[in-house]
Amino acid sequence: MPAAAFVDRLNEQVGHEFAAHQQYVACAVYYDGETLPQLARFFYRQALEERGHAMMMVRYLLDADATVTIPGVSAPQTGFADIVAPVALALDQERRVTEQINALAGTAREAGDYTSEQFMQWFIKEQVEEVATMTDLLRVVNRSQHDPMDIEDFLVREHPGEEGSDPTAPRPAGE
Ligand SMILES: [Fe+2]
Ligand SMILES: [Fe+2]
């Protein structure tokens, strides 16, 4: 059985991941409404990734025979001052999640729950990538905010489609 403190925190993290999903859908919808389809597509896809993270955590708890509580989430931000704001918000969110993920690994280690610590390793690596991706995108969006088609071109070039499936990723619930 995973450590009780870890189970509690991982259940909370399921909520943070679903909240991230909702927030990224809200960002995608904002860009869709501004007719910036590549930015919209990027955030719709990002949202699905966040849902995937939540479901991987749910699967881990189920496999470990631990209690799973699917939490409600608070409403995402839906109005934005300009096209930079959603990306800035996303970068803040990814930095916050990185701290949460590291704290989860720390909780597991403190409890001597090395199986759970090991489970968190994939998420630690994933957060490095997500923070880097959002940092790059924020730089591009800041530079080209008055030429949004340059941002759209950047996304077509640098983020063309679905990323290939990662064989090291934990299995999500429902798949
Ligand atoms: Fe996530
Ligand atoms: Fe993320």
7 Cβ contact list (under 8 Å, min separation 6): 61, 64, 66, 67
What distance in angstroms lies between residue 147's CA and the mean position of ligand 1's atoms? 30
pLDDT tens digits, the chain, 175 residues: what are they? 899 999 999 999 999 999 999 999 999 999 999 999 999 999 999 999 999 999 999 999 999 999 999 999 999 999 999 999 999 999 999 999 999 999 999 999 999 999 999 999 999 999 999 999 999 999 999 999 999 999 999 999 999 876 677 889 999 999 8
Number of H helices, E strands in the chain: 5, 0
Helix (H) or strand (E) holding 74: none
What distance in angstroms lies between residue 73's CA and the mean position of ligand 1's atoms? 14
What distance in angstroms lies between residue 9's CA and the mean position of ligand 2's atoms? 17
> 6: closest CA among 53, 60, 56?
60
What pLDDT, on the 0 to 100 scale, is given for residue 119? 98
Report the alpha-carbon distance of residue 141 to residue 171 in Å, rounded: 33
Helix (H) or strand (E) holding 173: none
What distance in angstroms lies between residue 161's CA and the mean position of ligand 1's atoms? 19
What distance in angstroms lies between residue 50's CA and the mean position of ligand 1's atoms? 4
Report the alpha-carbon distance of residue 161 to residue 56 in Å, rounded: 22
- Type of residue found at 145: Q
Give Cα separations from 90 to 100, 124, 155, 169 (angstroms). Answer: 15, 17, 16, 22
